[in-house]
């Protein structure tokens, strides 16, 4: 029997049915870029869903043609950061979720948007999706754990190409590299991810939770010491003059002038 329940905050819609929750980012006018308020809304939604006994698997999707453009650079230029202290973007990129999380990607997933996907357990992507870490082109580095996760699962040269050029890769390339779990036709990522989540949610909740915990502790997750070192380096870059210039140039739609400091 299907039971469906919906809830809505300013930036997030949550739908629950048949032990599967779909969390949808609802800031398409800003390409679902993450400011602190949106990240906080997402963190609160995930906290609620992890605590609920009627939710066994979670899908993260997005409204509009862009999954997420990452950090809201205009908000960053005003001094705001989207990361939740000690938890990361959307409250989970540093600490993870106890329950299985599937990212459903239709369109570009860039910068922090790509890192949201990489911090999920599986990525279902449509053929029209694309992925990239363009932070270096803005005087920043990928601070949401994306570099750490890519380096654990993708060949060294491919990681360096993605991270140092800042250029996008298409869905097929991402699938070939093992980043994308399943490919689907354009416009069908949310549906395909929900079907995958449903196949997971049919299984025993305790077994699911502990299976994920074992995999994360052996091969999947990033340990706290590594993340702490990464955070220290990222903090220095985010405080740099180049970071300010990159954000300002983006907001003003001009080519940045780098100083190397």
- Looking at the annotation, which residues are catalytic? 115, 135
Hey, CA dihedral for 167, 168, 173, 178, is it positive or negative? positive
The token pair that represents 239 in the structure block: 């405080």
DSSP secondary structure string for all residues of 66-128: -SB--B-HHHHHTT---PBTTTBGGGTTTT--SS-EEEEE-SEEETHHHHHHHTSSEEEEETT
Neighbours of 251 (CB within 10 A): 14
- Look at residue 130 and give its three-state secondary structure: strand
Task: Report the 3 state secondary structure along 150-174.
Answer: HHHHCCHHHHHHHHHHCCCEEHHHH
Q: Which two tokens stand for residue 23?
A: 């969390």
Report d(CA 215, CA 210) in Å as an integer: 9
Contact assessment for residue 237 and residue 76, using Cβ atoms and an 8 Å cutoff: no
CA distance 221 to 148: 9
C-alpha span between 179 and 155 (Å, rounded):
11
């Amino acid at each position: 029997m299907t039971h469906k329940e919906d809830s809505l905050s300013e930036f997030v819609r949550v739908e629950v049915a048949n032990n599967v929750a779909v969390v949808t980012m609802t800031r398409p006018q800003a390409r679902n870029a993450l400011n602190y308020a949106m990240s906080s809304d997402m963190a609160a939604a995930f906290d609620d869903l992890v605590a609920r006994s009627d939710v066994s698997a979670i899908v993260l999707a997005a409204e509009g043609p862009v999954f997420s453009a990452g950090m809201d650079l205009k908000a960053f230029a005003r001094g705001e950061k989207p990361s939740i202290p000690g938890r990361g973007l959307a409250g989970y990129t540093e600490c993870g979720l106890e329950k299985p999380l599937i990212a459903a990607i239709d369109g570009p997933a860039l910068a922090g948007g790509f890192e949201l996907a990489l911090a999920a357990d599986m990525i279902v992507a449509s053929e029209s999706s694309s992925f990239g870490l363009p932070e270096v082109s803005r005087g920043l580095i990928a601070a949401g754990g994306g570099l750490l996760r890519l380096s654990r699962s993708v060949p060294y040269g491919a990681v360096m190409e993605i991270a140092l050029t800042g250029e996008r890769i298409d869905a097929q390339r991402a699938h070939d590299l093992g980043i994308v779990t399943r490919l689907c036709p354009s416009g069908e990522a949310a549906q395909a991810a929900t079907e995958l989540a449903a196949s997971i949610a049919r299984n025993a909740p305790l077994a699911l939770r502990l299976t994920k915990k074992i995999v994360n502790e052996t091969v999947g997750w990033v340990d706290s010491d590594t993340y702490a070192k990464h955070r220290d380096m990222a903090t220095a870059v985010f405080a740099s003059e180049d970071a300010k210039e990159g954000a300002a140039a983006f907001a003003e739609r001009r080519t940045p002038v780098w100083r190397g400091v």
